[in-house]
Amino acid sequence: MSITLTNTVVRNIIVDYEGQVVQVVYTFVDATGKEWGNKGTAYFFVTMPEQPPNGYPDSWFQLPSSYIPTFLTLKNDAEVALTAKYLP
């Protein structure tokens, strides 16, 4: 039996503003939509950490700088909404 994986589906995105990293949890699916294998996790860094002796893990990526303003806006909007709701 042969399985052909046709797509990657993102299941969860966690933005760590202080750590300047976005954690993405994903799975692989076949043409019928069935998930195969365990969930994977990839990390997208604003600034790559110091390179480990054996090189970067395959799951580490450099986040394009064009995304940074989007995350700053999201952070600022969240702070404004939370402040208005809980600190009137």
Determine contact, residues 26/39, Cβ cutoff 8 Å. yes
Q: 5 pairs with which residues across the strands?
A: 30
Tokens for 58, please give them.
């395959």
| Residue 7, phi-psi category: left (phi > 0), alpha (psi -120 to 50), beta (remainder) | beta
**pLDDT reported for residue 68:** 86
**pLDDT reported for residue 73:** 92
pTM over 0.85: no
Over range 2-24, report the average pLDDT.
Answer: 88
pLDDT digits (tens, 9 = 90+) for 14-70: 999 888 899 999 999 888 888 887 889 999 999 999 988 888 999 999 999 898 899
